[in-house]
Amino acid sequence: MIKEKARVKTFKINDTDVTAKSDSSILEVAKEHGIKIPTLCYFEGLSEVGSCRMCLVEVKGSDKLIPACTSKIKEGMEVITNSPKLESHRKMVLSMIFAERTHTCSVCVSNGNCELQDQAIELGLEHSHVPYIHKHFELDASHKDYVYDPNRCILCTRCVRVCDEVEGAHALDIFGRGIDAKIIHDMDEPWANSESCTSCGKCVQVCPTGSLFEKGVSSAEMVKKKNIVTNLIQMRKDR
């Protein structure tokens, strides 16, 4: 009997025939074939949560858009990763993310080094398509090395997942719902008082925006060292 992992499926991405292992996601196969699908909550090696909806793709014969990061390939499916419908959808998703918090790039520590900003530039998003909410959150600058600014948080939960799945500390979680949601340490303690935080800084490295940042680092110097996390994940896979 062929094991599920070894089975291969054939399907189309943007009219090109591709084959891949049956447990692959659409996003993984697209990446393998050099096809770019925009993502925000996805981080290679961490679990997929499918929360940001930037990676939605079309499947021929279906009216529904599906997230490429959490959807497995199916035999014979025909995936479209780029279309006017998807572009308009992605612009709307980005607009809602921008409108929900205060993403003023010109005064952000991650200006020029931000995945949200990159996506907006790539999609040619010049203004938000929905009104700004202007909700204000207190900054947590209690940690000696790091700051959490909920005003720039897009709630992708990469920080929560890396802390849990790679560092094994599970110091972070989401607290609240909707526009009130934010990342908390332990039971909503100031970061400096967290007993489970190991101060490893992995959360800062995987943050796609300027929400988690190192103290004393100016925007020009703010280079995220994502390889700290990806190397660790790769080492685990190779074991």
Q: Which residues bind ligand FES (CB under 6 A)?
A: 39-42, 50-55, 67, 69
Backbone angles phi, psi at 203, to 5 degrees: -60, -40
Cβ closer to ligand FES: 20 or 97? 97
Nearest-approach distance from CB 116 to ligand FES, in angstroms = 12
Nearest-approach distance from CB 25 to ligand FES, in angstroms = 9
Nearest-approach distance from CB 86 to ligand FES, in angstroms = 13
Nearest-approach distance from CB 226 to ligand FES, in angstroms = 15
Nearest-approach distance from CB 154 to ligand FES, in angstroms = 10
Cβ closer to ligand FES: 197 or 207? 207
CA atoms within 13 A on the CB side of 10: 2
Amino acid at the residue 32: E
**CA-atom Rg of the chain in angstroms:** 19
Nearest-approach distance from CB 26 to ligand FES, in angstroms = 10
Cβ closer to ligand FES: 10 or 47? 47
Cβ closer to ligand FES: 51 or 111? 51
Residue pair 182/176 in contact by the 8 Å Cβ criterion: yes
Cβ closer to ligand FES: 48 or 140? 48
Give the CA angle between residues 184, 186, 192 to the nearest 5°: 80
Cβ closer to ligand FES: 67 or 210? 67
